[in-house]
Amino acid sequence: MEIVICHLYPDLMNLYGDKGNIFVIVKRAEWRDIDIKLIPASIGDNVSEDVDIFFMGGGQDREQRLLAPDLVDKKGVSLISAAEKGVVFLGICGGYQLFGHYYKPENTPRLDGLGILDVYTEAGEKRFIGNVLVKSMIDGYKDLTLVGFENHSGRTYLGKNARPVGEVMRGYGNNGSDKTEGAWQNNVFGTYLHGPLLPKNPWLADLLLERALSRKYGEIKLSPLDDSLESKAHKKAIEIIT
Ligand code: GLN
């Protein structure tokens, strides 16, 4: 089997080593003898129709302003069609914000997003910075925990078609007020958790892989890996924040 991953704007959207999420997905596939094809797509590049997972990391307002027209005008039709067909997406922070309807930075004009998540984001004065602990609200993964680090001025609010990735147990999450973190809809996932996210949250990496494989090859359950090191790191992160 093979999984095709498209890394969106790897040169611009890589805050806090978010590209480490790609390495985790690649390794967890290779450890199960699943082949991986990794395609970068930045400003000016077309995106292939034959992608199983799109990934977009976080970035500052400046980078988001730079790429937003390309994301929506040049790549939008292909990306929206892919999301509608159930292709897996993972967006972190600034990437997450641009998967929504729009992101309005504090002092610059609003940036239209893809609208593949029914969310919108408006920046506030205070930045939300720090470690985060989340209790999953994803069907089939309820009450598992996610740990990460957040640094954003954006406040994200969910519409009726998006569901929270989880409930904030420590930290700010989407907007510091409704106790939600992240959003998911169909196979599109967005979260504020940097870290990078997946090394300390291997269950989420496998969730994304399983959904991408099942969409391509029919229902697939991945064989378990020895996640003792990842679990140790996850538990340590929880210890630090609680
Ligand atoms: N620029 C966005 C904000 O400040 C996203 C930041 C990020 O990706 N960490 O909310």
pLDDT of 162 reads 98
CA of 95 to the centre of ligand 1 (A): 8
Average pLDDT rounded to a whole number, residues 128-155: 97
Give me ligand 1 centre to Cα 154, in Å: 6
Sort residue 116 into left (φ over 0), alpha (ψ -120 to 50) or beta. Answer: alpha
Distance of CA 175 to the CA centre of its chain: 16
pLDDT at 127: 98
Q: Give the three-state DSSP class for 138.
A: coil
Question: Residue 49: its pLDDT value, please?
Answer: 86
- Name the DSSP class of 72: I
108 pLDDT tier (thresholds 50, 70, 90)? very high
Question: Which of 233, 134, 221 minimizes the C-alpha distance to 184?
Answer: 134
**Average pLDDT in the 222-232 region?**
98
Q: What is the pLDDT of residues 84-98, one digit of tens each?
A: 999 999 999 999 999
199 lines ligand 1 (CB under 6 A): no
d(CA 204, CA 68): 27
Q: For 161-206, write each residue's pLDDT tens digit.
A: 999 999 999 999 999 999 999 999 999 999 999 999 999 999 999 9
The pLDDT value given to residue 143:
87
Question: Cα–Cα distance between 201 and 9 in angstroms, integer?
Answer: 23
Ligand 1, atom 5, lies closest to the CA of 94
Please say whether the beta carbons of 49 and 83 come within 8 A: no
Residue 26 has pLDDT above 90, yes or no: yes
Return the amino acid letter for 12.
L
User: How far, in Å, from the CA of 60 to the mean position of ligand 1?
Assistant: 5
Query: Can you give the CATH number for the domain in which 164 is found?
Result: 3.40.50.880
**pTM confidence score:** 0.98
pLDDT of residue 38: 98
- State the total domains in the chain: 1
Alpha-carbon span 8 to 48, nearest angstrom = 12
Which active-site residues does the annotation give?
93, 194
How far apart are alpha carbons 70 and 73 in whole angstroms?
Answer: 5
State which residues form the domain around 58: 2-241
Whether 137 is in the pocket of ligand 1, judged by its Cβ within 6 Å, is: no
